[in-house]
Structure 1
Amino acid sequence: MDEEEFLRGRVYGADPEDPGPRPGRVYRELVGGPLDGLLLDVTDWEDAQPRQAMALATELGSFGSGGRALYEPRRGDPRRWDWRGDIP
């Protein structure tokens, strides 16, 4: 199994021992880029449908450790967030 396949369906930032989504939580799917296929838990956010881009920490992007991947809600389908690039 390659790294991309291993990450698919897991929750961003979750404990590797308990990676799956939980019932009763609200998730957004990350599409493209280094976090492709991961789910972002937005349950505790005041507005579970933010309309701005988010920089998510990752070691898998262009900048390695300390880098971030930029994702923003997809127009017409805010349940999916599209990758916009990597930033240091």
Structure 2
Amino acid sequence: MDGSWAGRRVYGDEPDEPDPGPKQGHVYVELMGDPLDGLLLDVTGWPPQEIVDGAVLMSDHGQFGPGGRSDYEPAEGGSGDVGRFLWRGDVP
């Protein structure tokens, strides 16, 4: 696990959980751009094609408010590791 991710919040974890941060042995991507900017997404066990496809994630803070979703896709030109997902927009 990347040491710079210590203390960071993971998408889907509740902030009041006893240990809401990244877990040893898990693989994460960093979400970049509104509305989930800075959160980590646990992609442990995801098939490679799902990582290439990105993720549409529930978000109460996007354009469509509660019940809306935010589309994130892999950043281009990575170093071969999973890395980062960039925000592409919000969907209802």
Say yes or no: does 1:11 pair with 2:10.
Answer: yes
Alignment of 1:16-55 (within 5 A): 16=15, 17=17, 18-47=19-48, 50-55=51-56
Q: Which runs of 5+ in 2 are unaligned?
A: 1-6
Matched with 2:84 is 80
Higher helix share: 2
Matched with 1:59 is 60
Letter of the 2:87 partner, please give it: W
Q: How many residues are treated as equivalent by the alignment?
A: 81
In structure 2, relative to structure 1, the CA distance for the partners of 1:68 and 1:49 (3 Å cut) is closer
Q: Which runs of 5+ in 1 are unaligned?
A: 1-7
Percent identical among aligned pairs is 54
Conserved? CA contact 1:27–1:40, under 8 Å: yes
Cα RMSD over matched residues? Answer: 1.8
